[in-house]
Structure 1
Amino acid sequence: MVTRKNGHDYKISDEFWTKIKPLLPFPKPKKKRGIPRKDDKRIMSGIFYLLRTGCQWKALPRCYGAPSTVHDRFQEWQRSGLFEKMWQAGLLDYDEEGLEWEWQAIDGAMTKAPLGGAGTGANPTYRGKKGTKRSLLTDGKGIPLSVVVDGANRHDKMLLKGTLDAIIIERPSHEVTQNICMDKGYDFPDIRELVEEYGYSAHIRRRGEENIRIDIPGYRARRWVVERTHSWINRFRRLLIRWEKKIENCLAMLHFARAWITFRAAGLFG
């Protein structure tokens, strides 16, 4: 998707740009003549550089343009919903070879959020400091289907309905049996009822079973795929710690990362 030079050059490939360019909103007409609008592809590469490296906006290399220009374009595209549309386009592209709806998995992961903001709360695993939780649903291969963000102090079960409602492409209705794999944090009667209402067969480890070895012919562990996807996301250093105060900006960065993961899985680039 990107070419790198000496670790400082993240240029979006022509193949990826061809996919996402039609999704860009039309730029607003300028009221006055002035400096021509900076190249969109270069600006997108700058945003990707920041997403991958985790650097501050003001530390962006000037080859991508002035940091303020890149940030302004990010805000413009965030407000237009571009990054979610990119992720959705990646899913539709990937679905041509078949999303694995039969076995889905869901899990939450917490990250630090030192600057606070909406969708943060006291992190129970980090001395009560500000943190955020992302609840992620994937298909059977770990392709991200939906994500919601809330405070780190929110229990996973409280985010389940929002996560299932946030799937950004249409689920198959009755064409395929859909199972959902969850850990013991979802082991509640109301959660089992909710999952059934959404048309899933629940596979939830009961409390005390996490360390029990299963020796069943043909049994295959399936929940690990969502944990692996959380690990993929953490490779984007901007997401390893949440630096965005605005939840909309946080989600935009998450959507960009998911678009990259999905298009890569679809074989668009190596």
Structure 2
Amino acid sequence: MSNLFWLTDEQMAKLSPFFPKSHGKPRVDDQRVLSGIIFINRNGLRWRDAPEAYGPHKTLYSRWKRWSEKGIFARMMAGLAAEHGEQKTVMIDATYLKAHRTATSMAAKRGRGRLIGRTKGGMNTKLHAICDSQGRPIDLFVTAGQVSDYIGARALLDGLSNVKWLLGDRGYDADWFREALQDKGIRACIPGRKKRKTPVKYDKRRYKRRNRIENMFGRLKDWRRVATRYDRCPKVFLSAIALAATVIFWL
């Protein structure tokens, strides 16, 4: 198949520092297995439908499951994103990711902690993200779909780098959030809610750049396993998002 995905040697050199050490028997070819994992996640295939060029599908699944539970893929993105070098502007926003019935099955009995909620759009998970001025994700956080944007903002606040500006929409217009940014020396470019008695001034020209984080979400959703959540475990689902972000933006 000519449309198979293969990691290059240069890309493997960037990822290899984050691989866990092999104990005992050497691992199967990392380049082949990781390329197969990426192909499956990008196209939303079942593991048993993996092309033969990637080897046994059980090897792909076991590596994916084991490394996801250990947080290897999340550390890959975090490690590569730590070298972003952004010193001026970051952006914050959130988007909904639809949850498939395989992820929501038996949610009433054992669904606590799955981070799947019900909104007008059905069962979904919300992805909160911070990206740099080029639209590359720096930090990610997932919650249930009905959770307020403030929860995600509070979780991502501690990880904000030393920058000058933060862009966000009206969903992040809260006095406590503005004060927290001010304490960090970050200026907020966030329009005020319409119910505010006193209008909030913001840099409208700078605010127009916020479309880059929307474009980032759109590119992440090109991966079918990100646009639709099939995994019950939120840690595994976050690994799929982190892997997509790593391949699209940081390799």
- The TM-score normalised by the length of structure 2 is 0.84
Q: Distance in 2 between matches of 1:194 and 1:81?
A: 29
Q: 1:217 to 1:256 in 2, by over 3 A?
A: closer
Instruction: In structure 1, give the amino acid aligned to 2:7.
Output: I
Per the alignment, residue 147 of structure 2 pairs with 154
Say which SS state the counterpart of residue 76 (structure 2) adopts: helix
Q: Distance in 2 between matches of 1:201 and 1:92?
A: 21
Q: Structure 1: any 5+ residue segments left out of the alignment? A: 31-35, 210-215, 265-270
1:165 aligned to which of 158, 173, 196: 158
Per the alignment, residue 5 of structure 2 pairs with 10
Instruction: In structure 2, give the amino acid aligned to 1:13.
Output: T
Q: Within 5 Å, which residues of 2 pair with 1:198-217?
A: 198-208=184-194
Per the alignment, residue 200 of structure 2 pairs with none
- The TM-score normalised by the length of structure 1 is 0.79
Tell me whether 1:85 sits opposite 2:85 in the alignment.
no
Q: 1:244 to 1:181 in 2, by over 3 A?
A: same
Q: Distance in 1 between matches of 2:158 and 2:47?
A: 33
Tell me whether 1:255 sits opposite 2:242 in the alignment.
yes
Instruction: In structure 2, give the amino acid aligned to 1:120.
Output: I
Say which SS state the counterpart of residue 94 (structure 2) adopts: strand
Q: 1:21 to 1:217 in 2, by over 3 A?
A: closer
Per the alignment, residue 119 of structure 1 pairs with 115
Structure 1 contact 146–164 (Cα < 8 Å) conserved: no
Deviation digits for residues 88-110 of structure 1 (CA, Å, limit 9, x no counterpart): 342245x3xx42x3111100000
Q: Is the helix fraction higher in 1 or 2?
A: 2
Q: Structure 2: any 5+ residue segments left out of the alignment? A: 105-110, 196-202
Per the alignment, residue 24 of structure 2 pairs with 29
Shift of 1:37: 4.4
Q: Distance in 2 between matches of 1:24 and 1:230?
A: 27
Q: Within 5 Å, which residues of 2 pair with 1:3-152?
A: 5-7=1-3, 9-29=4-24, 37-93=27-83, 95=84, 98-99=85-86, 101-114=87-100, 115-116=103-104, 118-122=114-118, 124-126=119-121, 129-152=122-145
Runs of 4+ off more than 6 Å? none
Per the alignment, residue 108 of structure 2 pairs with none
Q: Distance in 1 between matches of 2:81 and 2:27?
A: 30
Q: Distance in 2 between matches of 1:202 and 1:187?
A: 9
Q: Distance in 1 between matches of 2:248 and 2:184?
A: 26
Per the alignment, residue 180 of structure 2 pairs with 194
Shift of 1:241: 0.5
Tell me whether 1:243 sits opposite 2:233 in the alignment.
no
2:165 aligned to which of 179, 198, 210: 179
Say which SS state the counterpart of residue 12 (structure 1) adopts: coil
Deviation digits for residues 203-259 of structure 1 (CA, Å, limit 9, x no counterpart): 1112349xxxxxx89656121111111111111121011111111101111111121
Aligned-residue RMSD, C-alpha: 2.4
Structure 1 contact 109–133 (Cα < 8 Å) conserved: yes
Q: Number of aligned pairs?
A: 235
Q: Distance in 1 between matches of 2:207 and 2:176?
A: 26
Aligned identity (percent) is: 26
Shift of 1:20: 1.1
Structure 1 contact 148–166 (Cα < 8 Å) conserved: no
Q: Distance in 2 between matches of 1:198 and 1:57?
A: 45
Q: Distance in 2 between matches of 1:220 and 1:92?
A: 24
Q: Distance in 2 between matches of 1:201 and 1:154?
A: 25
Q: Which moved more, 1:149-158 or 1:71-80?
A: 71-80
